[in-house]
């Protein structure tokens, strides 16, 4: 089993490489650490690569990278996958910070990159835009969320944090309530992806900054019910839904089996569970009274 520790970076195909670089640097506040005519790599101020852009014919998420424990033998992981019928290949220099990785395809035809050792990028000194802490989670629309959940739990050691009915899964690989989501939809594609900011005042500052850039919020600020993060959503220039969030539930001790207590929790303690299908999308904020089927 691959013992996944964190979500590292997401790779997007884009027909507008220059425009996307401008958005990710000037609006989202990421640092451009490498680029050529067909590719760009961007990191957070803390030096963690978060977004890779590759020139292509459509705006699409096609790769996602996860880190395992430093020093892990990637050859052993590849052999384990082979034994289970999952073909992988070894690749080198996939980004400036990742020298060695194995890659394979998940059941949703997304290329998964696994690496162990990572070199942080230098602080450029630039201070512009939102400047999030990290890429926090990615959500996909899939035909069969249970199938995807089974794959990620079996091969990547994800744990089930919560479900909404049988159609929306929340999975974690670290202490954060969720790192990936799978939601049942007829068309399989990206649902949204999310960046963590420091706190609620920083989220408010980010929303003001987006307004100054003439970028409208499409949902929020709200506090979700499942995961309980405070969140605000906007759309990137290529129409990807981008979430900014803070105060997500955390399970700091897997042996205890419950999320760190918060005064807004419905249950005491708040443990992983299956929430009713008609669970509200949020406790308060725009859209508070909608249920999951109307999720924007």
The answer for residues whose C-beta is within 8 angstroms of residue 275's C-beta and 6 or more apart is 162, 163, 164, 165, 225, 226
Joined together, the tokens standing for residue 86 give 């999952």
Phi first, then psi: give them for residue 18, nearest 5 degrees: -65, -45
Would you state the pLDDT for residue 1?
79
Residue 40, SS3 per DSSP:
strand
Residue 54, SS3 per DSSP:
strand
The arithmetic mean of pLDDT across residues 93-105, rounded, is 97
DSSP state of 88: -
Asked if residues 50 and 10 have their Cβ atoms less than 8 Å apart, the reply is yes
Task: Pick the closest to residue 174 from 210, 143, 213, 136 (CA basis).
Answer: 136
pLDDT of residue 173 exceeding 80, the answer is yes
Distance of CA 202 to the CA centre of its chain: 19
pLDDT over 90, % of the chain: 93
- From CA 64, how far away is CA 94, in angstroms rounded? 12
Joined together, the tokens standing for residue 198 give 């420091």
Phi first, then psi: give them for residue 109, nearest 5 degrees: 65, 25
- From CA 247, how far away is CA 199, in angstroms rounded? 7
Residue 141, SS3 per DSSP:
strand
Would you state the pLDDT for residue 293?
41
Task: Pick the closest to residue 177 from 243, 252, 236 (CA basis).
Answer: 252
- For the entire predicted model, the pTM comes to 0.95
Largest CA distance in the chain: 53
Task: Pick the closest to residue 267 from 249, 243, 294 (CA basis).
Answer: 249
Question: Which tens digit of pLDDT belongs to each residue from 227-237?
Answer: 999 999 999 99
Asked if residues 257 and 271 have their Cβ atoms less than 8 Å apart, the reply is yes
Question: Which tens digit of pLDDT belongs to each residue from 203-215?
Answer: 999 999 999 999 9
In angstroms and rounded to an integer, the radius of gyration of the C-alpha atoms of the chain is 18
pLDDT of residue 19 exceeding 60, the answer is yes
Would you state the pLDDT for residue 124?
84
- From CA 177, how far away is CA 199, in angstroms rounded? 16
pLDDT mean across residues, the chain: 95
Domains of the chain (ranges, CATH numbers): 4-115 (3.10.180.10), 134-294 (3.10.180.10)
The answer for residues whose C-beta is within 8 angstroms of residue 70's C-beta and 6 or more apart is 116, 117, 118
- Written as one string, the DSSP assignment of 218-243 is EEEEEEESSS--EEEEEE-TT--EEE
Instruction: List the beta bridge partners of residue 68.
Output: 4
């Amino acid at each position: 089993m691959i013992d996944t520790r964190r979500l590292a970076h997401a790779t997007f195909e884009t027909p507008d490489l220059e425009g996307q670089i401008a958005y990710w640097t000037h609006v989202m506040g990421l640092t451009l650490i490498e680029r050529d005519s067909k590719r760009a790599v961007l990191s957070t101020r803390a030096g963690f690569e978060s977004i890779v852009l590759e020139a292509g014919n459509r705006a699409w998420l096609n790769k996602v990278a996860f880190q395992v424990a430093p020093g892990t033998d990637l050859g052993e992981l590849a052999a384990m996958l082979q034994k289970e019928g999952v073909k992988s290949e070894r690749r080198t220099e996939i980004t400036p910070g990742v020298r060695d990785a194995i890659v394979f395809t998940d059941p949703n035809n997304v290329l998964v990159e696994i690496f162990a050792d990572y070199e942080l990028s230098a602080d450029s000194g630039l201070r512009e835009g939102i400047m999030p802490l990290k890429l926090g989670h990615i959500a996909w629309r899939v035909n069969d969320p249970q199938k995807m959940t089974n794959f990620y739990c079996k091969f990547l050691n994800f744990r089930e944090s919560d479900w909404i009915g049988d159609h929306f899964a929340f999975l974690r690989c670290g202490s954060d309530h969720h790192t990936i989501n799978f939601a049942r939809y007829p068309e399989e594609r990206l649902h949204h992806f999310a960046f963590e900011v420091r706190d609620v005042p920083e989220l408010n500052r980010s929303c003001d900054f987006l307004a100054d850039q003439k970028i409208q919020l499409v949902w929020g600020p709200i506090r979700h019910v499942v995961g309980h993060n405070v969140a605000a959503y906007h759309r990137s220039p290529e129409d990807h839904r981008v979430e900014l969030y803070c105060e997500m539930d955390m399970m700091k001790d897997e042996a205890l089996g419950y999320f760190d207590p918060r005064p807004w929790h419905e249950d005491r303690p708040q443990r992983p569970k299956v929430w009713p299908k008609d669970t509200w999308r949020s406790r308060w904020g725009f859209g508070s009274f909608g249920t999951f089927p109307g999720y924007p």
